[in-house]
Structure 1
Amino acid sequence: MKILVTGAAGFIGSHLCEKLLQDPRHEVIGLDAFVQQSPTPVKVREYNLRFLLPQDRFTFINQDLLQVPWDEVLPGVDIVYHLAGMPGVRSSWGADFKLYITHNIEATQRLLEDCSKHPVTKFVYASTSSVYGEKTDQVNEIATTEPLSPYGVSKLTGEQLCNVYARHAGLPIVIMRFFTVYGPRQRPDMAFHRFISHIRQGKPIPIHGDGLQTRDFTYVADCVEAVAAAVYAENIIGETINIGGKERASVLDCIAILEELFAKKIDRKFMSKASGEPRHTWADISKAQRLLDYQPKTDLRSGLHAEMMDLFKTPFLFL
């Protein structure tokens, strides 16, 4: 099976490539543009690739998706995982939204257009819980989509483009909506990475709002287990699937766990609520359980400990 993964040097993408390569039947092409404006610095992306580049069944392409000669890359590819994009809710406001248009909308449309000319068996689009907006209860895939941020709008537009190409060109689309993925190699701009970095540096943890907002935290190994299962899963074409975690918690709950792990009291710095972020997220993962045999295994304490230990081994990642 020949598999293309865009965003291969990113947090989730690099883990996914490693998971796919555990199957000796797979050959993986990883593509990443090393976008300079991304919240993940180039040195972090290079670090993420350290286990992949030496592998014989892995080929890396460092190129912008809008510049890739797809007619040379796509022939022979069975499955496309499209994880590349510009992440981040808070940075999507203002003039920087043009980056989200380029990397989340234009690049997705270009890839879909070229995939429509080549016979892939599945096109898996990585979306986000941000498309749902503010919901108070557990959310399933038929819930209304009402994004609160330009980032959420850009990812929902990507979903709609996928659906358009499914109808127009018969592309075998699968959409997966990720809920707050964390763990080793988490992006430096994400909450747990920032929390751990601040604690190591003796700085108070910045908390937007009252800290009682909750998230459905998904450990990265659980997430890629579900994503990789799509390779051989049947009856998933045309489906939208939530990928959530084992444990839901508030920001203050997470800080309490970090206090246990660091064995010390952690200072907090409360700040104004961040624009565009929902107060609560909570995934109904029953469809993933049914279609992908998905069962998240990692509890929040174990996952935070794993992320903390990974950062301790790589002090240059404290940004």
Structure 2
Amino acid sequence: MPDAAVPIAGNRFLLVGGASLVGSATAAELLDHGAAEVVLFDNFAFGSEEAVAHLRDHPRLRLVRGDVMRLPDLLRAAEGAAGALLLAAYMTLSMDRDPWGGLDVNIRGVQNALEACRANRVRKAVFASSNAVYGYGPGVSGELVEPTPFHSQGAPPAAILYGASKIIGEQLCRDYGRKHGLHHVTLRYSTVYGERQHYRAANALYIIETIDRVRRGLAPQVLGDGSETKHFVYVGDLARANRMAFESAATGVAVNCSGPEPITTLELVRLVTELAGGGPAPEFVGEEPGKVRLTSGGPFRIAHEEAERAIGWRPEVGMREGLRRLIAWRDGNEGRAGA
């Protein structure tokens, strides 16, 4: 079996679902490290051209319109690629609105992308999984390490469908590794935030909606008593993790990619309000009927030490600095929500 390490410089990379928050940051990271070409493959159902507008004129970037549900599109896009980052997915809120479409994209779409990798002899796939593979509800508390089992009791169906679809995607990667020798690394992302932030991630809404309310002079809202734990990761740190996963000799591993430390929703809302220039004290609100809420059983930490052992990565940007960058972007010329 060939070496699992794929250098960035001089190689071509395919980013499936690349016109996105993580895709745009990873494309810039790969280009900065000398990639010969980065191909952003997207059908723009959720991605947007605004999310990659800052890269549009880069001579080594190519934007390809295609759909993960159409294997021929992926087969063409993967030609000559040394590595592929599999990002395309429905998240929980989208899964709630359209579970059939979400299961298609998150399962068959991943299978199609892996088949395109196999057919084109792509050397390594990096799969964007999620800490949702641990589930939600009473069982999710304490130290969440990679062997933590899946918990589903009491969680919204869409959240469980999303988490289960990511588990299946991970196993499809393992299957292609076992049967076809495809090198792969699975990165279990925490909630991603940063420049070009979108409105589609249930936990990231705490950030973006707080900014919006503060900017309108309204009191930010905190669901419940604010003690719920959340774990975020800055998009620039995650782009670096994607690059290092390609460069590392690791294969057949699944590791957490989380920020330096967790935060409660009340701490988060207060920090965002402070960094956005201040505003009214937060108001505590109850659940909205029919709105998807992601809950855990108590305080938890998503451990990222295994990622350092496997691919040499650790988070560098804390919430205060990451939020400062996000708010500066929102207030600048690019201050439109990306995808």
In the superposition, the TM-score normalised over structure 2's length comes to 0.84
Relative to structure 1, the CA distance from residue 174 to residue 318 in structure 2 (aligned partners, 3 Å threshold; closer, same or farther) is closer
Deviation at 1:186, TM superposition (A): 1.6
Cα distance in structure 2, aligned partners of 1:165 and 1:174: 12
Are the equivalent residues in 2 in contact too, given 1:4–1:77 (CA < 8 A)?
yes
For the residue of structure 1 that corresponds to 2:103, the secondary structure is helix
| Structure 2 residue aligned with 1:107 | 109
Cα distance in structure 2, aligned partners of 1:316 and 1:28: 24
Deviation at 1:256, TM superposition (A): 1.6
| Structure 2 residue aligned with 1:258 | 272
Gapped regions of structure 2 (runs ≥ 5): 1-10
CA RMSD of aligned residues (A): 2.2
Cα distance in structure 2, aligned partners of 1:98 and 1:14: 27
Relative to structure 1, the CA distance from residue 70 to residue 275 in structure 2 (aligned partners, 3 Å threshold; closer, same or farther) is closer
Deviation at 1:315, TM superposition (A): 4.7
Gapped regions of structure 1 (runs ≥ 5): none
For the residue of structure 2 that corresponds to 1:69, the secondary structure is helix
Relative to structure 1, the CA distance from residue 99 to residue 205 in structure 2 (aligned partners, 3 Å threshold; closer, same or farther) is farther
Q: Are 2:332 and 1:288 aligned? A: no
Deviation at 1:27, TM superposition (A): 1.6
Relative to structure 1, the CA distance from residue 271 to residue 57 in structure 2 (aligned partners, 3 Å threshold; closer, same or farther) is same
| Structure 1 residue aligned with 2:85 | 81
The C-alpha deviation readout for 1:182-209, integer Å capped at 9, x for no partner, is 1111212332112211221233434333
Q: Which amino acid aligns with 2:148?
A: A
Q: Are 2:69 and 1:66 aligned? A: yes
| Structure 1 residue aligned with 2:197 | 186
In the superposition, the TM-score normalised over structure 1's length comes to 0.89
| Structure 1 residue aligned with 2:234 | 219
Cα distance in structure 2, aligned partners of 1:318 and 1:32: 14
Cα distance in structure 2, aligned partners of 1:25 and 1:242: 25
User: RCO higher in 1 or 2 (8 Å CA, sep ≥ 6)?
Assistant: 2
Q: Which amino acid aligns with 1:213?
A: E
For the residue of structure 1 that corresponds to 2:225, the secondary structure is coil
Cα distance in structure 2, aligned partners of 1:51 and 1:165: 35
Q: Percent identity?
A: 27
Cα distance in structure 1, aligned partners of 2:29 and 2:292: 35
| Structure 2 residue aligned with 1:317 | 337
What does 1:8-19 align with in structure 2 at a 5 Å threshold?
Answer: 8-19=18-29
| From 194, 214, 224, the counterpart of 1:209 | 224
Relative to structure 1, the CA distance from residue 105 to residue 29 in structure 2 (aligned partners, 3 Å threshold; closer, same or farther) is same
Cα distance in structure 1, aligned partners of 2:83 and 2:337: 32
Deviation at 1:162, TM superposition (A): 1.7
The C-alpha deviation readout for 1:120-160, integer Å capped at 9, x for no partner, is 11111000001101421111111113354221122222112
Cα distance in structure 2, aligned partners of 1:166 and 1:137: 32
Are the equivalent residues in 1 in contact too, given 2:261–2:301 (CA < 8 A)?
no
| From 133, 158, 168, the counterpart of 1:157 | 168
